[in-house]
Structure 1
Amino acid sequence: EDDLDAFSPAERIIANFILTNRGGIAFETANSIAEKLQVSPVTVGRFSRKMGYRHFKDLKAGLRTAMSGVPWLVGDQMTAFVGAGGGSDRRGGSLELELAGIIEVYALAETPGWKEIVALLAHSHRVHVTGFQTERGVAMTLAHLLQYAREGVTLPDATAGNFHEVLADDDPAGQCLVLVDMRRYSQQCHDLAAAARRRDIPVVMITDKFCDWIRKYTDHVIAVPTEVELFWSSQVALSCAVNLLVNDVIGVLGGKVEKRLERLSDLYQAHSGHVGSPRRKRTEG
């Protein structure tokens, strides 16, 4: 990990994948990693030898003594689903991978790095959350949930193309930027991370296991497993991370959240209303 800057681009991609996929590396082969990372199996073997091992299988054996694998949730419901014939083997494999991903996110939530990110989301004067491509919905969920818990949370308009909400403030102190994206990564996401770094705005990145460039701009990275045996990459682990982040932020903020929720509930009831509840008369002024 300390020597990432000395690696070639291909070696850095492989190293980053291993560092952020510790629980699942036991299930990989040189060929499967090469296919996922779009490098050659020869490159994977060369990387293994550079790390002091004979080949990738030998590297995995060495890692096994230092890394604990992710447990598998194969209970009665899982067994029934896979064996019933109601879904294909591919869907059964995807369920297993997504369950393992959730467990991995819960383990991440116990790390010091996670707690640093929670502190940023709880205590920064302003928190900007933006997502790109198909991950925009995940970013919106995070922003909207945080807006219920605290004030000062914005969802910058990416279509404007200038991110003035984040970058145009003369005094960037007290801001925090959260980015959500998966490969192939948006150029906007990369450029916004770089611009925020230049302005000393802390950046949090919620992403997949393959984002090797983000650590040039921040150490606050939540890299979750997204590869399953379906057509699209899975956003299940991303959503799990969002739920746990918001829960932990609420835990840090404490009683202030309850007061804000009461105020927002009153406003919603006055202006919109919930099903089954009488709408309150709006007061003027």
Structure 2
Amino acid sequence: MSPEPRSFLTRVRDVLDQLHPAEKRLGDFVCDFPGELASYSASELATLAQVSNATVSRFVKRLGYENYEEARRHARAERQTGSRLFLTRAADSAAEQSLSAHVTQGVANIEATFLAITDAQINTVVEAMLGARKTWVLGFRSSAPFADYLRWQMLQVVEHIVALPGGGETLGEHLVSLDPRDVVVVFALRRRIARMDPILSVIEKSGARLLYITDESAPARPSVTWHFRCQTLAPGPLFNHTAVMALCHLLVTRAIERAGAGGRKRLRGIEGIGDALEEV
């Protein structure tokens, strides 16, 4: 089996300590702002990094590319993986984004997200979770906190709910138990793990209903039961997950509303035990 091709940034890091001073300056710049190479011409990059055009040409040859255009195509392809490094611009690095810019973008993300999600879809998801034999919530990397949060809040009215994977656990021991009567919620925000597609395929083959929550970059997956895309644009180097949290909040609130008398009884019981144990 042939080895995996090296990423653009791996090529840069591998040669960084071997470069001459001007090339090293360019290499450091590209490591900090790889998106600039993906966006600009060789002469524009030279100006930004304060090096000569000849230095840019030598640099890309050192990385193993035939020419600048080949390097730029590779950087552009890598930008699609969702690395925030590729979305950070040198011109913005020294500037603070205003509070207003962050608030405005957060509001815009929420509005754009919920324009594509209907009340009927939310109700259908919630009813499925309330009636499921078991609800599984799954998330890796930046998605893991959202999976934990949704499980923790939904536990108010959904008794059989678990977040995966637990510390030190693998998925096989859990996914083997999936049943067509179950609901699985998968958070898959950038950057998604490399094995996400095989995991989704295992869930789909089980017959369980699947809610797939992603950012706007994920391609449509018609095979899932529901696919909600959350806008994550941001005026800075990090993704804005305001809309993801808003979606979690809506799902839990609607679940409490739709749980009816049984849900209220469970909530009263939780509060009663909490008071008796003086937990909070």
TM-score, with structure 1 as normaliser: 0.60
State the alpha-carbon separation in 2 of the partners of residues 93 and 157 from structure 1: 36
The percentage of aligned residue pairs carrying the same residue is: 15
Match of 1:194 among 182, 187, 201: 201
1:250 maps to 2:256: yes
Change (3 A) 1:108 1:268: farther
Match of 1:93 among 80, 98, 101: 101
Deviation at 1:199, TM superposition (A): 1.2
SS of aligned partner of 1:254: helix
1:104 maps to 2:89: no
Which string of whole-angstrom CA distances, capped at 9 and with x for unpartnered residues, describes residues 193-252 of structure 1? 11011111111111100111x615314011010011121101111000000011111222
Change (3 A) 1:217 1:144: same
SS of aligned partner of 1:116: helix
Runs of 5+ in structure 2 lacking a partner?
1-38, 40-72, 79-94
> Residue 187 of structure 1 aligns to which amino acid in structure 2?
A
State the alpha-carbon separation in 2 of the partners of residues 259 and 133 from structure 1: 35
Q: Give the match for residue 209 of structure 1.
A: 216
CA RMSD of aligned residues (A): 2.7
Match of 1:273 among 273, 276, 279: 279
Change (3 A) 1:115 1:262: closer
Q: Give the match for residue 181 of structure 1.
A: 188
State the alpha-carbon separation in 2 of the partners of residues 104 and 122 from structure 1: 27
Q: Give the match for residue 5 of structure 1.
A: none
Paired residues of 1:118 and 1:248 also in contact (CA < 8 A): yes
Deviation at 1:107, TM superposition (A): 3.7
State the alpha-carbon separation in 2 of the partners of residues 211 and 178 from structure 1: 16
Paired residues of 1:177 and 1:202 also in contact (CA < 8 A): yes
Deviation at 1:93, TM superposition (A): 2.6
Deviation at 1:270, TM superposition (A): 2.9
State the alpha-carbon separation in 2 of the partners of residues 251 and 113 from structure 1: 15
Alignment of 1:214-233 (within 5 A): 215-233=221-239
Q: Give the match for residue 160 of structure 1.
A: 169
Alignment of 1:1-285 (within 5 A): 38=76, 88-89=96-97, 91-158=99-166, 159-165=168-174, 167-169=175-177, 172-212=179-219, 215-274=221-280
State the alpha-carbon separation in 1 of the partners of residues 210 and 245 from structure 2: 19
Deviation at 1:140, TM superposition (A): 0.7
SS of aligned partner of 1:185: coil
Paired residues of 1:142 and 1:246 also in contact (CA < 8 A): yes
Paired residues of 2:186 and 2:213 also in contact (CA < 8 A): yes
Which string of whole-angstrom CA distances, capped at 9 and with x for unpartnered residues, describes residues 17-40 of structure 1? xxxxxxxxxxxxxx8xxx9x9469
> Residue 207 of structure 1 aligns to which amino acid in structure 2?
T
Runs of 4+ in 1 over 6 A off after TM superposition: none
Asked which structure has the greater CA Rg, the reply is 2
The number of residues matched between the two structures is: 191
Paired residues of 1:127 and 1:175 also in contact (CA < 8 A): yes
